[in-house]
Structure 1
Amino acid sequence: SHSYPLPPAQAPRRKEEIPAGLALSTDGKKLFVCGNLSNQLFEMDVATGKIIRSFPVGVAPYDVVVVGDKAYVSNWGGRRPKSGDLTGPAGRGTEVKVDAVMNIANEGSVSVIDLNASAVDRALKQEIIVQLHASALAVSPNQRYVVCANANSDNLSVIDTRTDTVIETIWAKQNPADLFGASPNALCFAPDGKTLYVANGTQNAIAVIRFSPADRESKLLGLIPVGWFPGAITFDAKRKTLCVANIKGHPIAPKRDEKKGQTGFNSHHYFGSVSLVPVPKESDLPKLSAAVYENYRRDRIELALAKPRAHQPARAIPERIGEPSPIKHVVYVIKENRTYDQVFGDVLEGNGDASLCIFGQKFTPNQHKMVRDFVLLDNTYCSGILSADGHQWSTTAFGTEYLEKSFASWPRSYPDGMGEDENDALAYAPTGFIWDNAIKHGVSVWNFGEFAMPTCGWKDTKRKGSPKWKDYWDEFQHGRGEVLIASQPSVEAMRLFTPTNFVGWEMSVPDVWRARYITNQLAEWERSRQMPQLVIICLPNDHTSGTDANAPTPGALVADNDLAFGQIVEALSHSSFWKSMAIFGIEDDPQNGWDHVSGYRTTAYVISPWAKRNAVVSTQYNTTSLLRTMEQILGLPPMNQFDATALPMFDCFTNTPDFTPFTALPTNIALDQMNPEPKNIKNATLREDAQHSARLNFKKPDACPEDLLNRILWNAMKGTETPYPAWAITLVEDDD
């Protein structure tokens, strides 16, 4: 075997190209390769690996097929923007066309390349506009048609190769009016060309399409259940079998720690998988489709879309969206990277494992008080596994196929919305964010730091270096005005409701600074007697900075986060808005944690006069459940299939309020307790951990190898004599 290098893309912050789709020429002597980052199609000599020609195509080319003397290239981001087009970032300096309302990528295309052209600048024969996230391509056996899967539009575009025009649009779901959520992203034909098989990623299913474009009668016949997010498919004609590659797959068995005799999972404990599916008879499709619908709880969508009834009494959580609720203000707190057992493993009333608890009552007295005073949720899960998808799930209730296919190394972007190359208009769901849903339906919004890029530094721009944690701590205590705490919205549509003198992700800024800023803003709302209906808060410092000597200890940072959360809840609960308020909180992802039930299980909070008191709720919820409950309260329709099928958190609420406010507890830990310098640490393991921490990148979310940071935190909190829970180790080293 051998490999051939591609010309470097020389994009900002990434020199290497990102190879995507591949196709051989009809004689097998040339290989065509999509250069996803440089927006080119490469023609390569198969024998030598030399690049013969490079053709300019659209934005983020994904797949290529060859029909006669033409190459068809699908472009995730559509045509290249022209002067005057409204654009947004798409990673590594790429710009993509976006819509004017949500600032999300709004075009897909297929470039048609004339392979007989005399010059590459004349080879682009046509740019066919298809729909969103033009991804996989398939050629019909008779070469008459090229079909493009439009993953973010839930449909397929059929291109007639004689005219190079779209002659039919085929829906990969039952009805074009159905909520977004099929994500067709890969496809193949049966040998006779009469049936098309399509991988519907977010339905974990293969769509079976009767292919009849000549009379415009192509239609979905049914669905076949397969594995977790099918992302590639081929037809084995000899065995009459569909071979489906699923991007993710469940672990075969939990990991076991032989020393402690314990077993469990973490959120990276998964494999890819392959489903081998005998081609079903058409008569079998209704039963198979029913299994798919049951798996993604399709029956709940009808309930989510049920029209509100007149003359209904106000209920804390309305039975139908649009019916009245006494709750008028929703506060949504998004924290960073903790599992349930890490924080609440010591709470006897819940399903916890105290041996895995490292940030228990001593470090998180306020969060412990919250779950004792209100609701302890011991069966709630993050939908994402790290910040790139965690912040997407936390705000859009969705993970696009672009996002799912970036997990290998995040080559284009790490789209958590918190910095450079972390804002990517191609990554976002076409249905938008929770704030888009709110604004569209007349619900007022305010955002403290979520999807905001930090622009912090010295106020004196001539001063060298960057402020450290101690400098921001000094600013918090004394207000000398030497440092600048600021940010810019990652998505331009957020600017009107995202203050730029606040910051979300910036680990050097204490969370108690954020709490003070928020309580000051609350005082302004009190004076005006107006508070936005939806308030979003990014509160990130429970992520910690390991044992870096320039940062507080992990325990101090978690205590800082806990105190800030407590202060925010105290201020809100003592305000005039408390009687009509609900506060929700969850981690964006559980990446740095371990848990005896699931690596996805996390800490979550429901705090309200209308919440149950002193209750343990073990109903299974996840991130989308919180979003769905907020929508249910505020009268917002679901954004997509996932929040529509999510279970509202009815079990957490009561229609008999208790207006007793929350009073924050003082911290047990000095918030300025700093990690020692490595040279002053006698224990060799802890000294090595400190040296590693000094080299880790805490400027960006999740920029540290998960297993390394896990071990650093375990050693710091439990000591090196306590065996590390081996089942928490990531199966494949992940250093994104």
Structure 2
Amino acid sequence: MTFRPALAFVLSGFVASAAAAQPPEQPTAILPSGRLLTPVGQLAQMPNFPTQLAVRDGILAVLTGGASKQQSVLRFDAATLQPQSGVLTLLDKDKKHAAPGATVAQGAMDTSGSQERASVIHDQSLFQGLAFGPDGTLYATGGNSDDLLALKPEPDGTLRMARRYALPWQPFPRDQYPYRYAGNWQQPRHFYPDSVVIGPGGRHAYVTGMLANSLARVDLQSGTVDTLNVGSYPFAVTLADGDRKLVVSDWGGNGVTVIDRERWKVLGSVATGPQLGAHSFAAGAHPTALAAQPGTPLVWVADANLDRVVAVNTRSLRPVRVLDDSPYVGAPPGSYPVALAVAQGMLFVANAGNDDVAVFDLASGRRVALIPTAWYPTALAVQGQTLFVASAKGMGSGPNLQHQWVGNSMQGVVQRIDLRELGARAAQWTQTALRNDGFDAMQRRKLATENAAATAWLHAHIRHVVFILRENKTFDEDLGKYAAAGQWADPALALYGPRELPNLFHLAANGALFVHFFADGEVTSQGHQWTTAASDSDFVQRTWPLYYSNRGFIANSGWTQSLAPDASGARNPYAIYKNLSALGHWSNPWITYPARLFLFNDLLAHGVSFEDFGEFASRNKIGDISPALRAHLAMDYPAWDRLILDTDRAKVFDHWVRSHATDLPRVLYIWLPDDHTAGRHPCLPTPDSYVANNDLATAQVIHSLSTLPSWKHTLVLLTEDDAQSGADHIDAHRTFAVAAGPWVKPGVLVTRHLSQVDLLRTIEAVADIPPMSQWDANAQVLSGIWRQRPDIDPYPVLPMQVPMQRNPGVCSADAPFAHLPVAHPPVSPTEAAARLGPSYTPTALLKVSGPEQMRQEWLASKGTKAYAAMLAHVQTLAHTQHRPQASLIAGDD
């Protein structure tokens, strides 16, 4: 069945919903990766991306915080999951979402006739920390508001703010990662509180500061704050050893920091993963959640990047036990344990990557069950015989009345699971969880047999594979007018067509077009990790909503970038590889890396030749790229920069590839980013111009390859990094992929459910290297698209049919693209104002939300009437298909 809430209530601009009981038929959803979701127990929906749970005296509290400037703390009846009351926080920009002058948002009537209410707090954000005090006060961490909120229930049942505790930024040692403040140096520095625990008697709150490498002790009566330096990017804090100790997990370190609570003194640090120095190139362990084992000095630590849980003795300051959290023997990383709970002699582990909760018997260390959850479980809590689980992405692109962007439209889900059923259902639940992910032994054997046959064909015919990555398009956005796709294409949602994309349409007609193909992530920061690592990391998943909603966090998604936007080299597209000092203060994204790093590292480790044109490369903790990896970077190929056209990138590639015609690497990775466009930014090329130029450059790259002696044994794979900026009549995660080359059968429509990780698995098969994660290890090697004899004719380049123009605006004579003619604005003043409206800047383009990009491109390319008609068509589709608009469209953020 399609999952829909039985009850919905609206809290000032966002939708929360709850189900009074588990539906008779178990809810089911299919993820972009093709994995299934069949969460068990009783379910309730809520706003996007819940990150923490707290339960006390029959009340379940949930903190949510998606990629918007609205977060919330919601309260539910723990026995029924019926909503009680909540607090909605808004930043200044979003005051319009609250009723004018109102402090209580009006809600819909539930089935019992009671009215749900939520207090509204302005100028406030929240971030993943939530705990009850002994008197029932809820404490929530404030993220870039740099405070701790005390929330109390009123006699009328509403939840209201009682007090704010300010938490100022604290300096940290210069030899501690990230070695410098990881934020915008031109703005106030943030403590960024992200986890909280309440001390004995409720006198103190202990709060971690993610951007200050600090732990704060807050006197809840006086408001006095004391701080200690702990490890880098502190994540969680817990009491331990009879409340005598505090333990902090160091997200950007490789272990935990142990503190004497009474003496307020750091006792030492304990490594839970391999010791990594400043010059280490390996990815970190990513210690996340903590859970103290009652009656012992032990604290369990979730090493999210290593798929294991480590017991630390807080007296001896040593790791004493390790539990393997892999789903099956020999599995690569990807479980991502990120939440823990200890109860009834068992350890409960939320596996965000595998959409389940692993249950371990603490006495034996044996895994006794896997419990299926919704998408990306992020928090656990146990009360009596009940396990509560919050999942950040719920059942996928679910209902949302106002926020339709794929990045924040996926409502969260909380599950209520009766642990008294665990004994009888452990085997059934475990088998279901494994099958949902394709991890059942029979499934893996069948896939291995199929992949072996597909790989054997590739080894006999393909020696070189070329991966071309472009930016941010859905299938319908680019190929809605491709008639040969039939029911897989919707021309009403096509923003571009054969006029702007003649070469893409030619590629589709003369190669294999994947029409049921999905992006595994929601946004660019995830997309480039999925297309280079067949995974992203828990750090990226938790933090990308912060900078996409401008909540005080600098994007840190794999690229090194300037933290001082006005530095002389901040826009230098070569500086990240050639001259970091030109960037001024710069970010080092080492903490973002998944366990086995990226395709380039895998190729290097196995002696496979490759060249990287424009994509990021992994660094060590102090920011260096290894000499061995640097040797495979096309240093003269420009990275992200809206002032450089993709046809110029194609020229650089052509020069390079001709100079290596006789020794072409086995793998080429090429980033052509200009179809992202610059929206309506004045004086930069119009969206149509950028898209058409990108299309021409793509064809030029393939043509260059087709003139080489190696072309006969070359495979070209083309796709987009994500699908966040357009509408699609099948799914908001759907994009497209094309396979081209002498051995690819022309005009093939591939209708199998595939995603980006299947392309990575195929590249690995050609290169004969092992998979990097659980996703590509269980992905499909492409097959069924090959012809019997190769066609080695040079690939044609169809000319641009769109003139190069620039957006209207006042441009200086020496401004970039000043030589281009101005696209004439429409005659209508209203239309002209709409097209010339607010625009985003070149330096911020990678973090622009999909809806804003989509809106600007539609308005600039087709105008307001066409944009309105497209939105109306989506509404009709959603109504006809009995599905939410959020599952079809990037929408309006």
Report the TM-score range of the alignment, normalised by the length of the smaller protein. 0.7 to 0.9
Aligned twin of 2:233: 60
Aligned twin of 1:229: 376
Residues 464, 713 of structure 2: 8 Å contact kept = yes
Residues 190, 212 of structure 2: 8 Å contact kept = no
Structure 1 segment 185-584 matched on structure 2, within 5 A: 185-190=338-343, 192=344, 194-212=345-363, 217-237=364-384, 240-250=385-395, 266=406, 268-279=408-419, 280-299=421-440, 301-302=444-445, 317-319=454-456, 324-350=459-485, 351-410=488-547, 411=553, 413-417=555-559, 419-420=561-562, 423-451=588-616, 494-526=629-661, 529-584=662-717
Task: Give the CA deviation at 1:599.
Answer: 1.0
Could you give the per-residue CA deviations for residues 125-166 of structure 1, whole angstroms, max 9, x where no partner exists?
Answer: 111111211111111222432111111111111122342321
Could you give the per-residue CA deviations for residues 12-55 of structure 1, whole angstroms, max 9, x where no partner exists?
Answer: 4161221122111112100000111111110001123320x211
Could you give the per-residue CA deviations for residues 366-391 of structure 1, whole angstroms, max 9, x where no partner exists?
Answer: 01000001112211111111111110
Distance 1:721 1:735 in 2: 16
Residues 392, 416 of structure 1: 8 Å contact kept = yes
Q: Which amino acid aligns with 1:676?
A: P
Distance 2:537 2:546 in 1: 16
Match 1:182 to one of 332, 335, 343: 335
Give unpaired runs (5+ residues) of structure 2: 1-160, 172-180, 274-284, 548-552, 564-586, 812-823, 876-884
SS of corresponding position for 1:378: strand
Task: Give the CA deviation at 1:268.
Answer: 4.3
Match 2:861 to one of 717, 723, 726: 717
Could you give the per-residue CA deviations for residues 382-441 of structure 1, whole angstroms, max 9, x where no partner exists?
Answer: 111111111011100112211111133132533142633665111111111011111111
Distance 1:252 1:151 in 2: 25
Let me know the Cα RMSD of the aligned residues: 2.9
Aligned twin of 2:291: 138
Q: CA, structure 1 residues 709+174, in 2 after alignment: closer, same or farther (shift >3 Å)?
A: closer
Give unpaired runs (5+ residues) of structure 1: 79-107, 258-263, 310-314, 454-487
SS of corresponding position for 2:852: helix
Residues 423, 491 of structure 1: 8 Å contact kept = no
Distance 1:254 1:157 in 2: 38
Distance 2:217 2:401 in 1: 49
Aligned twin of 1:105: none
Q: CA, structure 1 residues 598+730, in 2 after alignment: closer, same or farther (shift >3 Å)?
A: closer
Residues 201, 231 of structure 1: 8 Å contact kept = yes
Q: CA, structure 1 residues 412+156, in 2 after alignment: closer, same or farther (shift >3 Å)?
A: farther
SS of corresponding position for 2:765: helix
Could you give the per-residue CA deviations for residues 472-523 of structure 1, whole angstroms, max 9, x where no partner exists?
Answer: xxxxxxxxxxxxxxxx997876422112221121111010001111111111
Q: CA, structure 1 residues 652+278, in 2 after alignment: closer, same or farther (shift >3 Å)?
A: farther
Aligned twin of 2:266: 124
Distance 2:401 2:195 in 1: 40
Aligned twin of 1:97: none
Residues 398, 886 of structure 2: 8 Å contact kept = no
Q: CA, structure 1 residues 735+42, in 2 after alignment: closer, same or farther (shift >3 Å)?
A: farther
Q: Which amino acid aligns with 2:223?
A: G
Structure 1 segment 674-693 matched on structure 2, within 5 A: 674-677=806-809, 681=825, 682-693=827-838
Residues 697, 703 of structure 1: 8 Å contact kept = no
Match 1:621 to one of 737, 751, 754: 754
Aligned twin of 1:75: 250
Could you give the per-residue CA deviations for residues 288-329 of structure 1, whole angstroms, max 9, x where no partner exists?
Answer: 1111111111145456667998xxxxx7x4259xx8332111
Q: CA, structure 1 residues 167+253, in 2 after alignment: closer, same or farther (shift >3 Å)?
A: closer
Residues 291, 299 of structure 2: 8 Å contact kept = yes
Q: CA, structure 1 residues 656+288, in 2 after alignment: closer, same or farther (shift >3 Å)?
A: farther
SS of corresponding position for 1:349: helix
Task: Give the CA deviation at 1:703.
Answer: 2.7
Residues 328, 439 of structure 2: 8 Å contact kept = no
Distance 1:231 1:290 in 2: 22
Distance 2:537 2:398 in 1: 28
Match 2:785 to one of 645, 652, 656: 652
Aligned twin of 2:96: none
Q: Which amino acid aligns with 1:420?
A: S
Distance 1:434 1:685 in 2: 49
Aligned twin of 2:9: none
Distance 2:717 2:865 in 1: 37
SS of corresponding position for 1:712: helix
Aligned twin of 1:32: 206
- Select between 223-232 and 656-665 the one with higher mean Cα deviation: 656-665
Q: CA, structure 1 residues 278+651, in 2 after alignment: closer, same or farther (shift >3 Å)?
A: farther
Q: CA, structure 1 residues 284+430, in 2 after alignment: closer, same or farther (shift >3 Å)?
A: same
Aligned twin of 2:143: none
Q: CA, structure 1 residues 561+489, in 2 after alignment: closer, same or farther (shift >3 Å)?
A: farther
Aligned twin of 2:215: 41
Aligned twin of 1:702: 846
Distance 1:182 1:302 in 2: 20
Q: TM-score, normalised by structure 1?
A: 0.82
Match 2:800 to one of 659, 667, 676: 667
Task: Give the CA deviation at 1:266.
Answer: 4.5
Task: Give the CA deviation at 1:591.
Answer: 1.5
Distance 1:610 1:429 in 2: 34
Aligned twin of 1:113: 259
Task: Give the CA deviation at 1:654.
Answer: 3.7
SS of corresponding position for 2:589: coil
Residues 681, 807 of structure 2: 8 Å contact kept = yes
Q: CA, structure 1 residues 270+308, in 2 after alignment: closer, same or farther (shift >3 Å)?
A: closer
Could you give the per-residue CA deviations for residues 91-127 of structure 1, whole angstroms, max 9, x where no partner exists?
Answer: xxxxxxxxxxxxxxxxx1111112233xx6xx22111
Task: Give the CA deviation at 1:206.
Answer: 0.2
Residues 405, 724 of structure 2: 8 Å contact kept = no
User: Identity of aligned pairs, percent?
Assistant: 27
Distance 2:542 2:401 in 1: 30
SS of corresponding position for 1:163: coil
